[in-house]
Chains A and B, each alone.
Chain A
Amino acid sequence: KNLKCVGFEGTGQYYSNLKSRYGNNIDTCNIAQLLAPSIIDLSKTFYCHLGVNVPDHAMTFRSLCNLLQDSVTPFVVSVHAKECAGVCKQNEMLISYLKSFFTLVCQATLTIRIIDLLQKCTQVSPKRKENLAKNDLPVVVIFKDFEAFNSQVLQDFILICSRYTQELPFVFIFGIATSPSAIQHRLPHSVSSLLCIEVFHSLSCTQHLASVFDKLILNSQFPFKLSSRVIQVLVGIFLYHDFSVQNFVKGLQFSMLEHFNSQPLSVLCCQKHEALLSAKILSKQNVERIRHLPSFMRYVETQEPQEQVRLLTNDEHVKEVCQKLLKNLHTYHKNYYPILQCLHSLTSSLPKFPLGKHIRELHVSCIEKNLWETEEYDSALQLLRILAKDELVAALRSCAEILKSANTKRMQNVLQQLEDFLGRLEALQGKSDSVSKMEYQRTDLFQLQKTLLEKESRRTKRMNPFEVLRSQVIDFIDSLVREYLTPAEFQPLNEVCYYSSSGVLRQRLNVTPRTSIQAALTHPFYYLKNESLKTNTGTISSAAPDLCIVYKLHLECGRLINLYDWLEAYVTVMSAAEDQDTNSEECGKFDSLKHARFIQAVSEMEFLGFVKSTKQKTDHVARLTWGGC
């Protein structure tokens, strides 16, 4: 429970960041420009250019709306395209929203037509109208999904509002998912010239994803972890399908639920001291489960034979070892993330990004396999070995910054060594400067050639002090990677913290309704679990539900299906079950019961969207799906 709270807190923080960013924008514009009448009858308009991740927009706009209400004006209306089918509807929406404001805050006496209508409903008190006139607060209308609005409605709405901007300042906020040129596509010049436009870009969704990653996944505070496959599934859904951070967070929450639900040993997945406490009081059943964990079995195999016996027989001993291993796991995580960040900051500036552009890619490859055995790692190290001095120093400085925030003893040790390297590099700088100053003198071409040749021959023999130091630094980094960035799978008891069933996750989050319908129709046993439904592939069992039989028969047909032929085939299948004697006269004849069942099955097929009636031939239906089973 504790853990879940933490997770939600993280997302909350993420959105508050988002909020503050918007807040800055809106505030500056407001004070500077909103009320400055640069050109008459212009409605102020902001375009928020957002990505296509529709579910995220609701969140963004809600926070924007709240922020505006708190800091700028109480009159904030946010409208959705679905609600505004016509100008009339939209005005109604606006009025109903405004009505609630005006009854709360003050009553309007503005000549504006829409508010005029409103006047009829609410009595005007003269004091308050003066109040309003003085305040001169703008009415903010947020169009959440600009593209989906009927452009005629929008045009009319803007025209109407522009008539009243003198009495009541309007501010429109359009949420645009594609590109700002959508404005020109949707609004003619006569309308867009009434607007005074300013454009804001939200961060790209991949940047949002990176911040969520930093706060929720690449963080040793949360004991719950994802395995590489699960991360790949979640990121795959994000990048390939929806670009929605909110869905990503939901996926994360789902995997958390799934982990705590399916893995009994997840009682140990909590903060360190709690985990140690609950390790002491493990039930017999759970101890047995620990013994069956693959990672624990691997651990046992590495022990002495005597120890192995104790681990397999003595429960108390297992509990003790378990505590020790949990401690190790926690220290592993504490050391892992700083080193991962260091490695990322070192390699992210390399050309062609051999270890990936984003830290998440590096993370995935680290927890998946031994990083130092990959080709990419080798090429990255080779590139690091030819870094110029200032680049190397800058990269090492940023590493030192990262390590400062890590507070384990080992990391402090590493930091010490790193700073030592930095000091030596800087000392070198002083020396080389004094040397290089001496060398400046005029050279002719011949001399230059000679010196270059000399240098070339010298290089093969010995490296200069900087190169020596550089290779030492790189070796040091390599040793760090080998020590700390070991794959999580090799850590004993990793199953406690790591959720790894990516298949379940994919099935749940990336659903394929059509395949499951087809599976249900072709293999009814899969869902109904009735022994009589077990059939060989290709044959049609008459015990199956009518719908399945009809479905299987229709797969054999072309684009148009003759209903009578279909019925006959159906009856043949049905009667084959009743009596084996296919030669008798009864066979092929059908009673009204079978007829009715067939009709019902066909209409169910139509309901599921496999066939539809066609006007081409009256006694035929058209197939709507392609491809076999």
Chain B
Amino acid sequence: MSHQKSFQYADLLSVLERVVDIMSAPDQYSYPSVFIYGHRATGKSHVVLSIMKDLELPHASVDCVECVSSGLLFHQVLSAFFGPDAAALLPRCPSLSDFVRLYKQMSSNSPATQTRYIILDRAERMRDMDFSLLPALLRLQELVNDNVTVILLSEIVWEKFRPNTGCFEPLLFHFPDYSKGKSLVQILSWDHHPSYTPELYASYINILLGVFFSVCRDLRELRHLAVLNFSKFCEPLEKGEAKESDIHKLWKNIEPHLQRAMQTVYLREVSSVQWEQQQMDEKEATTLRVLSAHAHIELPYYSKFLLIAAYLASFNPARTDRRFFLKSHGKIRKTNFLKKHEKTSNHLLGPKPFPLDRLMAIFYSVVDSRVAPTASIFSQISSLVTLQLLSQVGHDDQLDSPKYKCSVSLDFILAISRCVCVCVRLLDLLALSLVIQSQVVRQERSLFTAVSNLHLL
């Protein structure tokens, strides 16, 4: 980790100076609370914790994600400052006053020679905890009458934290994003490969940033990508086809790979080993075999129909069921067939909840054969719910009349109905309902393509 230390002092020197400015001389009282915010991976916690470690300051570092109750937070703080024995004195479900009392007692035994720091990482989680906790921690110095400073780290601005009742305003401090030219190249260059020169790696990083900077500024993601693609970058060097100075040639070599990697940026669906394997295989397959391409789901035959029925129930108004699913439906006048509020496409409004019996009614009219209402049909519905393909809505009457929503997309349904398209009637139904919807909103292009797909079938 030696390189990390140097990077922090070199690059974030100005930031660091200001952080250290906040902290006055160790024996003097410091500002009671500091709020530090900045985007992910801008080095907030890293900088703060390194300062604490390097200057050997007494501190308690707590990740708020871990603190499912405030008791855990108190426990961690006390055990960091006064040892586990002190923490053991906390009652079983400690309240804030218990904590303050115990803290006072302990600090009178061992008064602070220098400022103590409580660092709360991911402080946005504090908002979900007890509402009095945050205001109290902000002025903890006054409450316990000790030289203690609370440092809150968060990705969210302070305005989102401020409680309704008002509170002590902490010192705000912003960690800026990295600029492309200076910081990112420098930081990324720190992980250079030992067997290559730092200059080569820096030029590699420049190429990488040139491709990815427009879509991704997350340092962690960029580092991941850098490690992923570096071996490919070095391939010509290892084969002896190019020299290190031959940057242009190397760029020509790596550029298509980086373009392909663009498709999977942020997805993290492959590990480095699998990535390399894919790079090997790519000569045969021109398209990248990303995992999202495996969207195909294996479902039992009736589950597919249930899902289709659920989709139809979710996106078609219940009034139109007669027209779609009854063979001898009455004639409906075209002019006032759809009410005014229904004239916006249902696909823009999202799925609507439907009761179980409507689902079953549509299911029976969609399935071409006679299906007995067996227990396994109903258990398939609940397994679709656990697979999150359907979602159950409403909590008041789960037993007698459960309601569901279909939570899959049109493309998914089309893929499924293509699998089971033994019966043409079903496709007709889908097409019909889609056509009616798309008549309403002609601009919606996706529907038209969907319908034309159906006609191709």
Interface residues of A (CB under 8 A from B): 29, 32-33, 38-39, 49, 51-52, 54, 86-88, 91, 113, 145, 147-148, 156, 159-160, 163, 177-185, 189-190, 192-193, 195-199, 204-205, 237, 239-243, 510-515, 609, 612, 624-626
Q: Evaluate whether A38 and B272 lie within 8 angstroms (CB atoms) in the complex, with A52-B298, A178-B387, A204-B298 already known.
A: yes
Give which listed residue, A180, A515, A625, contacts B291 with CB less than 8 A.
A180
Alpha-carbon distance A240/B420, docked complex (angstroms):
12
On whether the beta carbons of B400 and A624 are closer than 8 Å, the reply is: yes
Nearest B residue to A114 via CB reads B66
Contacts of A199 in B (CB 8 A): 269-270, 274, 291
Q: Is B256 an interface residue (CB 8 A)?
A: no
Contacts of B269 in A (CB 8 A): 180, 183-184, 197, 199
Nearest A residue to B1 via CB reads A40
Contacts of A237 in B (CB 8 A): 376
Say which one of B23-31, B218-226, B314-322 lies at the interface with A.
B218-226
Q: Is B294 an interface residue (CB 8 A)?
A: yes
B195 nearest CB across to chain A (Å): 16
Q: Is B394 an interface residue (CB 8 A)?
A: no
Known: A241-B380, A510-B374. 14 other contacts (CB 8 A): A33-B272, A52-B298, A52-B387, A88-B68, A147-B386, A163-B63, A181-B295, A184-B269, A193-B218, A197-B271, A199-B270, A239-B300, A510-B372, A514-B373
Q: Evaluate whether A196 and B271 lie within 8 angstroms (CB atoms) in the complex, with A163-B63, A239-B301 already known.
A: yes
On whether the beta carbons of A52 and B291 are closer than 8 Å, the reply is: no
On whether the beta carbons of B399 and A609 are closer than 8 Å, the reply is: yes
Q: Which of A196, A204, A237 is the most central at the interface, judged by chain B CB atoms within 10 Å of its CB? A: A196
Contacts of A242 in B (CB 8 A): 300, 376, 379-380
On whether the beta carbons of B387 and A181 are closer than 8 Å, the reply is: no
Contacts of B72 in A (CB 8 A): 113
Residues 271 to 311 of chain B near chain A (Cβ within 8 Å)? 271-274, 291-292, 294-303
Nearest A residue to B72 via CB reads A113
What are the interface flags for B395-428 relative to A under an 8 Å C-beta threshold, 1 for contact and 0 otherwise?
0010111000000000000000000000000000
Give which listed residue, B218, B223, B302, B383, contacts A52 with CB less than 8 A.
B383
Give which listed residue, B224, B301, B303, contacts A39 with CB less than 8 A.
B224
Nearest A residue to B380 via CB reads A241
A564 nearest CB across to chain B (Å): 22
On whether the beta carbons of B68 and A147 are closer than 8 Å, the reply is: no
Contacts of A609 in B (CB 8 A): 399-400
On whether the beta carbons of B302 and A240 are closer than 8 Å, the reply is: yes
Q: Is B450 an interface residue (CB 8 A)?
A: no
Contacts of B375 in A (CB 8 A): 510-513
Give which listed residue, B66, B301, B357, contacts A113 with CB less than 8 A.
B66
Contacts of A160 in B (CB 8 A): 63, 65-66
On whether the beta carbons of B297 and A179 are closer than 8 Å, the reply is: yes
Alpha-carbon distance A190/B68, docked complex (angstroms):
20
On whether the beta carbons of A148 and B386 are closer than 8 Å, the reply is: yes
On whether the beta carbons of A243 and B300 are closer than 8 Å, the reply is: yes
On whether the beta carbons of A52 and B292 are closer than 8 Å, the reply is: no
What are the interface flags for B363-395 relative to A under an 8 Å C-beta threshold, 1 for contact and 0 otherwise?
000000000111111011001001111000000
Contacts of B291 in A (CB 8 A): 180-181, 199
Contacts of B295 in A (CB 8 A): 179, 181
Contacts of A510 in B (CB 8 A): 372, 374-376
Contacts of B220 in A (CB 8 A): 193
A39 nearest CB across to chain B (Å): 6
Nearest A residue to B376 via CB reads A241
Alpha-carbon distance A519/B397, docked complex (angstroms):
26
Q: Evaluate whether A197 and B268 lie within 8 angstroms (CB atoms) in the complex, with A204-B298, A239-B300, A609-B399 already known.
A: yes
Q: Is B361 an interface residue (CB 8 A)?
A: yes
B325 nearest CB across to chain A (Å): 14
On whether the beta carbons of B386 and A205 are closer than 8 Å, the reply is: no
On whether the beta carbons of A179 and B268 are closer than 8 Å, the reply is: no
Q: Is B347 an interface residue (CB 8 A)?
A: no
Alpha-carbon distance A511/B378, docked complex (angstroms):
11
Q: Evaluate whether A198 and B273 lie within 8 angstroms (CB atoms) in the complex, with A52-B299, A189-B266 already known.
A: yes
Q: Is B40 an interface residue (CB 8 A)?
A: yes
Give which listed residue, A181, A197, A624, contacts B292 with CB less than 8 A.
A181
Nearest A residue to B355 via CB reads A624
On whether the beta carbons of B267 and A184 are closer than 8 Å, the reply is: yes
Interface residues of B (CB under 8 A from A): 40, 63, 65-66, 68-69, 72, 76, 122, 218, 220-221, 223-224, 227, 266-274, 291-292, 294-303, 357, 361, 372-377, 379-380, 383, 386-389, 397, 399-401
Give which listed residue, B266, B268, B374, contacts A511 with CB less than 8 A.
B374
Contacts of A86 in B (CB 8 A): 68
Alpha-carbon distance A271/B220, docked complex (angstroms):
66
On whether the beta carbons of B302 and A145 are closer than 8 Å, the reply is: no
Alpha-carbon distance A177/B388, docked complex (angstroms):
10
On whether the beta carbons of B300 and A241 are closer than 8 Å, the reply is: yes
Contacts of A163 in B (CB 8 A): 63, 66
On whether the beta carbons of A177 and B221 are closer than 8 Å, the reply is: no
Alpha-carbon distance A183/B69, docked complex (angstroms):
28
On whether the beta carbons of B389 and A178 are closer than 8 Å, the reply is: yes
Alpha-carbon distance A147/B386, docked complex (angstroms):
7
B270 nearest CB across to chain A (Å): 7
* Contact sample, A vs B, 9 pairs, CB 8 Å cutoff: A52-B297, A178-B389, A179-B294, A183-B269, A193-B220, A196-B268, A199-B291, A239-B300, A624-B400
Q: Evaluate whether A190 and B40 lie within 8 angstroms (CB atoms) in the complex, with A179-B296, A181-B291, A510-B372 already known.
A: yes
On whether the beta carbons of A177 and B361 are closer than 8 Å, the reply is: no
A525 nearest CB across to chain B (Å): 22
Contacts of A32 in B (CB 8 A): 273
Alpha-carbon distance A407/B385, docked complex (angstroms):
52
Contacts of B302 in A (CB 8 A): 240-241
On whether the beta carbons of B298 and A241 are closer than 8 Å, the reply is: no
Contacts of A239 in B (CB 8 A): 300-301
A291 nearest CB across to chain B (Å): 38
Nearest B residue to A236 via CB reads B301
B351 nearest CB across to chain A (Å): 15
Q: Evaluate whether A240 and B292 lie within 8 angstroms (CB atoms) in the complex, with A160-B65, A512-B375 already known.
A: no
Give which listed residue, A54, A195, A240, contacts B268 with CB less than 8 A.
A195
Contacts of B357 in A (CB 8 A): 625-626
B241 nearest CB across to chain A (Å): 26
Contacts of A515 in B (CB 8 A): 372-373
The 7 closest A-B pairs by CB, nearest first: A241-B376, A180-B291, A240-B301, A198-B271, A612-B400, A88-B68, A148-B386
Alpha-carbon distance A38/B270, docked complex (angstroms):
13
Contacts of A195 in B (CB 8 A): 268
Give which listed residue, B266, B270, B361, B374, contacts A197 with CB less than 8 A.
B270
Contacts of A626 in B (CB 8 A): 357, 361
B128 nearest CB across to chain A (Å): 11
Alpha-carbon distance A148/B386, docked complex (angstroms):
5
Alpha-carbon distance A10/B379, docked complex (angstroms):
29
Alpha-carbon distance A29/B273, docked complex (angstroms):
9
B387 nearest CB across to chain A (Å): 5
Contacts of A624 in B (CB 8 A): 400-401
Nearest A residue to B375 via CB reads A511
Nearest B residue to A89 via CB reads B68
Contacts of B377 in A (CB 8 A): 241
Alpha-carbon distance A530/B436, docked complex (angstroms):
56
On whether the beta carbons of B65 and A156 are closer than 8 Å, the reply is: yes
On whether the beta carbons of A159 and B268 are closer than 8 Å, the reply is: no
On whether the beta carbons of A193 and B224 are closer than 8 Å, the reply is: yes
On whether the beta carbons of B221 and A193 are closer than 8 Å, the reply is: yes
Contacts of A511 in B (CB 8 A): 374-375
Contacts of B388 in A (CB 8 A): 147, 178, 182, 185
Alpha-carbon distance A283/B358, docked complex (angstroms):
59
Nearest A residue to B296 via CB reads A179
B40 nearest CB across to chain A (Å): 6
Q: Evaluate whether A180 and B300 lie within 8 angstroms (CB atoms) in the complex, with A190-B40, A197-B268, A511-B374 already known.
A: no
Q: Evaluate whether A178 and B271 lie within 8 angstroms (CB atoms) in the complex, with A38-B227, A39-B227 already known.
A: no
Alpha-carbon distance A40/B389, docked complex (angstroms):
35
Nearest A residue to B122 via CB reads A159
